[in-house]
Structure 1
């Protein structure tokens, strides 16, 4: 029986997965690499680390799963979205890649809006406003700030597509990831000649665009030798990590929404037709399902806020967990359980790295509001979990305003591993939440795309229907739901109250250092 590989180029590491065409997972592996923050708000990585981790990952799953190389029939690629890999005429990397959470491009976002003729015209062209995380502002930043390096640019690739180049020698991308560059005509599913022209860019620096199931190239002899695989294995388009994760969660039909509470948090809704928020608060991108779209919102520091607490303030719990040989998050969750919903008026705004949805504000910052002498560590922990979940609800509210149906919310990410946090999500969203039999996210999704693209299934929808099923369900608790409905409007108002202060503080930091 055929085997399909999924490779997900994440921010902290690359995950590789091997899957039978039945959906059975044979093996997984993850190899980490460093993240560089050379200045406040900057985030960079060396693309060579992604390729090295991919090689190690493929070799590891072949060995772990006792897979014969000849059994592998297809490879799918996923990865962190929006990153920019700049290549010269020798196809060599010019500088470290700028990542999705890099915030240096505020001026370039304003430049793009101006060149496009205003925010509304920009949204009309590419379905989205200019945000600091997107790729187009990064290209302009290179042109504005490192012109000698920009002059060398022959090709710009997204992270997963750099690995694709290493695998196949082809410059290619696919519609879901390309949507996040801000340079794709999302309605027509091709590069936007209109915007590219207004930005004075040469379209030749952008790779060919495919649908996510399409075969984009085949494994070269050099790549095959590095990976321990036969030459000629098909590599399909794959998907940006959010679209790929949605495939892995079975979000391939209307009414089913995913809420991924990972380092960042994403609420993702399938849409049969292209639907755009006129205010640009959520993203409208091409889905990894052929000729379908999706609407999504991104919280930049969701479960990442709890990770920050663990790393910076939770050393006692980390040490205690080591002695008990358990995960420190278990101890943090036990503390949170001792506190009532709403934390007696303590709120946490999870804007540790700025915020994307719905505020699009790189200057926003995390804070606790409402602290009193009654509040202890349990309140701090629970308020972080609640704050991240309120932030996710912000997106869900916008999706419902757009009249996109929400009948079921499928949970994934670190926040789905805890039944306590799953119930909190049900109560704050006011929706039935479920988990599914697959927990591997984007890597699993692109393995399914590889199976569909190479003929094991007629399309990815059929692949999901045959491999993914619901395994647990939680309904909102009516009493707790009422508590959260009382507190949520206050949470929403806090950002508006602090918006000007955030901007003024950022200006002061820039001035005095």
Structure 2
């Protein structure tokens, strides 16, 4: 059952309110108000949004994202950086046409993590941006022990063993394209590739760097031990900056492409997950689950102790928080991608919203015990499994079993975080695209045995990035102050009540 709350505290410093969205903003209402532009480069969609100082999204535009396959290896994938940049520019021009651009005070960029590319001395890209979806790094991950003890890497970096980690890409480059280490002047992570294009300044956003498995968790800098193991010098990586710092003024050429005024500050943001967590107001005993292609469960901590190698789950990780000196212990696994797999293979006759409406309706009609069917959704690493199939199991039952399996993965992950962070969760805050599936939310509440608080605003990543852009623009003294001004609605889903 869902309970709506229009008052009372939301996780952290947020307070609930009656929903105020772009649809409630009258044309011309914001003409005299300050806004910031957030460019959000996601794995599925690219968006540009204008956000005002009260957290209202007053204009938005989107296009589809996606990777390109390698011509010779269908399972190898690249991000078409120029194409992504052009789409973001089109989205920005569309947003600019909806507002008074004289009110724009800053611009920021948030992206997926882990990916980047080599640049030469003139800032030209030397190799395409390898996507986290690319399978070439599976072999590299298996080779890590040739260079350095994998357990030692986790103890130093805090980042768990995922094939898409930047370290695995560097192992692939070392083994297959060693020439790049001789010709490259810089390696820049993807969000900073965009800010370099916008400002001409070479930097690396800390929240992206913190996902790389090439860093030292304690010093929050690159690890000399890990870099030397793969033959990389620290000088390859430009200056580290944290969210909220101004990268530089928007160049005239980029301003024309974006439809925005030249000279406005471009503010550092970075890894989308960190901004969803911050925007949702994560607190030590109030973990936040960002539910999308991946489900990423994280908390925010001022200190962290990585457990010994034999106690680390293969989905555990610890990344750098948006604030220097803070950390995000987390547990992550593929989620909506598994649901999309079910939809693609079992509901192929349907498309769009009709497909997912049918999937949810059939899953709700299925028995709660799923007729004994269990699903292990760990499909990314080839460990997924379906057990106890019988002739009376239909696709709706199988989909419900998949949702239950994903909720079981969440429960295990929450247990890991509680152990590492030394807390006991009394509720879960839920953000992201997965919030639209209320059946899934109810199953999560039932599986965890605690209330699930869902933030009504689906664009919490964008709002979290906007908080730092507003800080960088000088509109607020800190991102926390901006978050206090963003009043977001929420609802509660209680365990034990039928959806």
Q: TM-score range by the shorter chain?
A: 0.7 to 0.9
Using structure 2 for the length normalisation, give the TM-score.
0.86
Distance 1:275 1:449 in 2: 27
- Per the alignment, residue 353 of structure 1 pairs with 380
From 59, 72, 95, the equivalent of 1:27 is: 59
Distance 1:47 1:96 in 2: 8
**Deviation of 1:114 (Å):** 4.8
1:145 aligns with 2:170: no
1:386 aligns with 2:415: no
Check conservation: 1:336, 1:378, Cα contact below 8 A: yes
- Per the alignment, residue 459 of structure 1 pairs with 478
1:46 aligns with 2:46: no
**Deviation of 1:262 (Å):** 0.8
Q: 1:97-126: per-residue Cα shift (whole Å, max 9, x none)?
A: 11223332244335544534x234323322
Q: What pairs up with 1:484-495 in 2 under 5 angstroms?
A: none
**Deviation of 1:80 (Å):** 0.8
Number of corresponding residues: 460
Unmatched runs of 5 consecutive residues or more in structure 1: 355-363, 481-513
- Per the alignment, residue 287 of structure 2 pairs with 257
- Per the alignment, residue 431 of structure 2 pairs with 412
Distance 2:426 2:488 in 1: 16
Check conservation: 1:155, 1:205, Cα contact below 8 A: yes
- Per the alignment, residue 171 of structure 1 pairs with 202
**Deviation of 1:250 (Å):** 2.4
Q: Secondary structure at the match of 2:218?
A: coil
Distance 2:140 2:336 in 1: 29
Q: 1:356-375: per-residue Cα shift (whole Å, max 9, x none)?
A: xxxxxxxx243322110120
1:333 aligns with 2:360: yes
1:376 aligns with 2:394: yes
Identify the range of structure 1 (388-397 vs 11-20) with the bigger mean alpha-carbon deviation: 388-397
- Per the alignment, residue 266 of structure 1 pairs with 296
Distance 1:216 1:188 in 2: 22
Q: What pairs up with 1:126-275 in 2 under 5 angstroms?
A: 126-251=157-282, 253-275=283-305
Q: 1:349-408: per-residue Cα shift (whole Å, max 9, x none)?
A: 223332xxxxxxxxx243322110120121111112222222222211211222244233
1:469 aligns with 2:488: yes
Q: Secondary structure at the match of 2:147?
A: helix
Q: What pairs up with 1:36-75 in 2 under 5 angstroms?
A: 36-38=68-70, 39=73, 41-63=75-97, 66-75=98-107
Q: What pairs up with 1:421-436 in 2 under 5 angstroms?
A: 421-436=440-455
- Per the alignment, residue 488 of structure 1 pairs with none
Distance 2:64 2:40 in 1: 12
Instruction: For CA contacts below 8 A with separation 6 or more, give which structure has more relative contact order.
Output: 2
1:304 aligns with 2:345: no
1:5 aligns with 2:37: yes
- Per the alignment, residue 491 of structure 1 pairs with none
Using structure 1 for the length normalisation, give the TM-score.
0.84
Unmatched runs of 5 consecutive residues or more in structure 2: 1-32
**Deviation of 1:451 (Å):** 0.8
- Per the alignment, residue 500 of structure 1 pairs with none
